[in-house]
Structure 1
């Protein structure tokens, strides 16, 4: 098992190294160069995307930020860019401040949205989530944590399927907080996991109040494989101050309130 993990880690290091030395990549060419199947490469790219190391786009990928080669070699386990991580926490802290005593909230499988739990303090609320990692989170004494149950999607430890969707259909939330793989002003929000589209959409449908999307600026203007909500279903976009001014105008024109947070 350790040997398999080592092989995967080394392969992903090679992928990061290639992406850092090339402005853009073609996934088919890279798969051939690494002598792996396109499917294996797509899985590796998604894992690196989930860790915030790269940003995927249709047909390729690029580094989320410029990662120094020396740092990359020395970080064989999990390499997180500190700026990206700082952005995630700033977004989550702001979102937590929007939550009031007595609220019932939805949080989806997003790692950024899950960070909200760390900033809720002593607030008395119900948190309903399909994020299995919530069990490992530090939560306040007055938080009632409700997991949807359902089939476990192992890579993200998210709960999916008909059972999870059914549970959500019986709950009405005051606020909804969604992390996404991408958001655009014309096609709405998207995810890289097909099975999570129904979960995300059910959360939106069962929310009686505002629907907040937490997405750093690198995800703005990106559309991933599977749509999980139209732009008119989103009320707020919480992002960082690197978002383009033109994008802010486009989202506001669609009725979405954009909240760009300074992280510097």
Structure 2
């Protein structure tokens, strides 16, 4: 497993090296250059995009930090607008989710960057936060937040904590509410991720929550089905997304008993 992870990490580093030199890529061209299949490249790009390292667009991708306020090229302006819109969506989703948390709550937050944003909107609320998100150590949190990391094996690419130790710690906690960010959610299947190691963590958080299970996902993730299932649709209480979600998708979730809350980010 470690050898496989090393191969994936080196391949993704090659992708980033290419982007640092060329600013943007054509996916078909890069797949040929790296001698990998287009499917493998798309999975790598999706993972890097979810981490916020790159920004994907139709037919290509570019480094997220290569977009700045001084850009004058029309294509770059379009990509910058896309990035800013995505940030606004995630912030709006997280800000709303924070309003669902009360004084004294114990909550689960997984490795999602969107779920992690909740912490900066809790203000002075007294909340126990149990998370496997290593990035929480660098998050802005209020004075009354009790932050508990699960411990466990570090999944370096996302700085998440996984493995038997992490799931064991979760098994000793009962949370009032659970907030999970996901790579994909579909009304006919449930929630899914691109990271196999995180499926057990998400399952355990769902199982150890006595209250509602909230899924935080912008509309681009609605309808997506990734390789690894993290939970069935009947285990989910509510989907918090942005107002770009289409009405048919909303109806599909509500037919399965999932409340959909579309947040206006504009």
**Cα RMSD (Å) of the superposition?**
3.0
Residue 102 of structure 1 aligns with which residue? 104
CA distance in 2, matches of 1:70, 1:205: 49
Instruction: Give yes or no for contact 2:12–2:44 (8 Å, CA) kept in 1.
Output: no
- The TM-score, its normalising length taken from structure 1, stands at 0.82
Deviation at 1:69, TM superposition (A): 9.1
CA distance in 2, matches of 1:131, 1:94: 20
Residue 56 of structure 2 aligns with which residue? 54
SS in 1 for 2:103: coil
The alignment status of 1:11 with 2:12, answered yes or no, reads no
Deviation at 1:32, TM superposition (A): 4.2
- The TM-score, its normalising length taken from structure 2, stands at 0.82
Residues paired across the two proteins, number? 243
SS in 1 for 2:210: coil
Residue 237 of structure 1 aligns with which residue? 239
| Residue ranges of structure 1 left out of the alignment (5+ in a row) | 20-28
Deviation at 1:8, TM superposition (A): 4.3
Deviation at 1:18, TM superposition (A): 1.8
SS in 1 for 2:180: strand
| Residue ranges of structure 2 left out of the alignment (5+ in a row) | 1-10
Instruction: Give yes or no for contact 1:31–1:41 (8 Å, CA) kept in 2.
Output: no
The alpha-carbon distance between structure 1 residues 62 and 232, as it changes in their structure 2 partners (threshold 3 A), is farther
The alpha-carbon distance between structure 1 residues 16 and 230, as it changes in their structure 2 partners (threshold 3 A), is farther
Please list, as runs of the form range in 1=range in 2, the aligned pairs for 1:1-264 lying within 5 A after superposition: 8-12=15-19, 16-18=24-26, 29-38=28-37, 42-51=43-52, 53-54=55-56, 70=73, 81-264=83-266
CA distance in 2, matches of 1:44, 1:32: 11
CA distance in 1, matches of 2:151, 2:59: 33
Of 81-90 and 7-16, deviating more is 7-16
